[in-house]
């Protein structure tokens, strides 16, 4: 492709013109400044352009500053399609359906926990199963297997994992309607049966953090944040269950693309028209996997609270461990957006991108309507994570979307090679971060150098106005798969 055609629009965005690649229906937009553009892969640019060739795409094919190459769609990609001529593509959601982030705040200060961090990390690691193929403490009978897919986090609360008040602070109330358990394969059920309530592997984590910087005092006060406050961030998804759902439907979509004569610039973009039975079935199965993921994070949060009670011999009231928000960053949802001056329903695919709705949005819980949606952006385990808020500009420019994390710049293999001979856990401990993981290779794959600097990524979306900074969180204890 002719990369010379790509032009910088302003300090936060570049444009891939409609003539960059044959068949593009709309332009591509990548939110990236000059610093991060140096790490932008040609393949990611091509993937943004490829998505722009899909039928019914509205606005632009977009990518966030944490963009990197993915399956079909780039990770960090956002694309919206109209419901009449548009499509649904599993590649626009990804294998880890409803991978997402949950943030808890507490009444504890950093000084309160530092002397007990090794104990706390040890108990969290023992209480919350992690690692490849890890098995959870939740045992699902045949009835529960279906209920969890229909009810999501509501099912977990009904089983005693947390409180009903948690649900209002979860995207979609922790349960998206329209799931159909009958569409789930036997293999997906088998993979999901023992993995409910598990963290998983790779970039999934549970992190004990503290707030070390506040950028917006008013918003921080509304969220109950203060300097030195201990927080907990949980990052995981639908585990092997969601992976299998995606695998099953990629095969269906490959046949559907041929059946409906959809020309694909990349076979990984396999898709079906929104109105087709194949798209309807995929969305119903995807929603089931999304609900599985919300239940998963709810269970993990419950055991996290219990671990804090044990270590600090503290009452729930004194601990004050409350949910701030839980947001998905691998999902496709029907949403209403304004296009050319009129409101229409679209199917918005976010793959490695976070919803960032503004103050007053009808989908926000009452508590956040004056403020805007909390946006949770995890970084790598050695640097920082951020809390931002959604904005009106995001609704106008990105279908209410922003970045989702730091974004890899090294493959897992490259990272392992670079870490050879190093003790990553000791390097982390020297920085004041206690780490436990299922294996040394995981820490090597997830070391800071394998990722873009999260502060650079967040600065781009903040300057672009598609989300605004509230607080920075530094890690002091990390559980990795």
Catalytic site positions = 404
Give residues with Cβ within 8 angstroms of 383, minimum separation 6.
406, 448, 453, 454, 455, 475
* Cα separation, 206 vs 234, whole angstroms: 5
Phi, psi for 476 (deg, rounded to 5): -130, -15
3: number of Cβ within 10 Å: 11
The region that residue 446 occupies, defined by phi over 0 for left and psi between -120 and 50 for alpha, beta otherwise, is alpha
Q: Is the dihedral of CA 153, 157, 161, 165 positive or negative?
A: positive
* Cα separation, 337 vs 395, whole angstroms: 7
> Could you identify the residue written with the tokens 């609270």?
305
Give residues with Cβ within 8 angstroms of 238, minimum separation 6.
96, 97, 98, 99, 192, 245, 289, 290, 292, 293, 296
* Cα separation, 250 vs 351, whole angstroms: 15
How is 190-247 classified by DSSP, letter by letter?
Answer: HHHHTTTT---STT-EEEEEEEEEES-HHHHHHHT--TTEEEEEEEE--HHHHHHHHH
Listed as own residue / partner, the contacts of 419-427 with beta carbons closer than 8 Å and 24 or more positions apart are 419/443, 419/444, 419/447, 420/444, 427/382
């Amino acid at each position: 492709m002719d990369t010379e055609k790509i032009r910088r629009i302003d300090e936060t965005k570049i444009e891939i013109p409609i003539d960059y690649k044959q068949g593009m229906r709309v332009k591509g937009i990548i939110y990236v400044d000059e610093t991060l553009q140096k790490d932008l892969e040609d393949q990611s640019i091509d993937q943004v352009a490829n998505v722009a060739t899909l039928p019914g795409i509205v606005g632009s094919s977009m990518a966030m500053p944490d963009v990197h190459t993915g399956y079909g769609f780039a990770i960090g990609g956002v694309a919206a399609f109209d419901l009449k001529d548009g499509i649904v593509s599993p590649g626009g959601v990804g294998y880890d359906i409803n991978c997402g982030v949950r943030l808890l705040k507490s009444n504890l200060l950093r000084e309160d926990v530092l002397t007990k961090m090794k104990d706390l990390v040890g108990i969290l690691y023992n209480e919350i199963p992690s690692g490849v193929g890890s098995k959870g403490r939740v045992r699902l009978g045949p009835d529960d297997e279906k209920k969890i897919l229909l009810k999501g986090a509501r099912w977990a609360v009904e089983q005693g994992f947390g409180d009903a008040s948690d649900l209002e602070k979860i995207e979609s109330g922790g349960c998206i309607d329209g799931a159909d358990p009958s569409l789930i394969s036997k293999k997906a059920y088998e993979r999901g049966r023992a993995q409910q309530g598990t963290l998983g592997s790779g970039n999934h984590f549970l992190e004990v953090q503290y707030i070390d910087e506040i950028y917006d005092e008013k918003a921080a006060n509304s969220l109950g944040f203060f300097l030195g406050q201990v927080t907990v961030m949980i990052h995981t998804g639908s585990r092997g269950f969601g992976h299998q759902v995606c695998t099953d439907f990629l095969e269906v979509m490959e046949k559907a693309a041929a059946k409906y004569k959809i020309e694909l610039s990349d076979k990984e973009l396999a898709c079906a028209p929104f109105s087709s039975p194949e798209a309807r079935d995929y969305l119903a199965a995807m929603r089931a996997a999304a609900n599985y993921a919300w239940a998963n994070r709810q269970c993990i949060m419950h055991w996290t609270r219990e671990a804090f009670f044990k270590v600090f011999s503290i009452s729930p009231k004194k601990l004050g461990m409350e949910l701030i928000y839980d947001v998905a960053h691998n999902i496709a949802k029907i949403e209403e957006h304004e296009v050319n001056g009129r409101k229409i329903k679209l199917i918005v695919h976010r793959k490695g991108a976070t919803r960032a709705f503004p103050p007053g949005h009808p989908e926000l819980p009452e508590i956040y309507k004056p403020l805007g949606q909390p946006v949770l952006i995890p970084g790598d385990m050695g640097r920082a994570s951020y809390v931002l808020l959604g904005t009106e500009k995001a609704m106008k420019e990105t279908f209410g979307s922003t970045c989702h994390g730091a974004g890899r710049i090294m493959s897992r293999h490259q990272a392992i090679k670079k870490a050879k001979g190093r003790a990553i856990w000791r390097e982390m401990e020297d920085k004041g971060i206690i780490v436990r993981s299922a294996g040394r290779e995981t820490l090597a794959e997830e070391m800071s150098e394998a990722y873009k600097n999260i502060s650079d990524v967040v600065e781009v979306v903040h300057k672009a106005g598609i989300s605004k900074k509230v607080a920075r969180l530094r890690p002091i204890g990390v559980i990795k798969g």
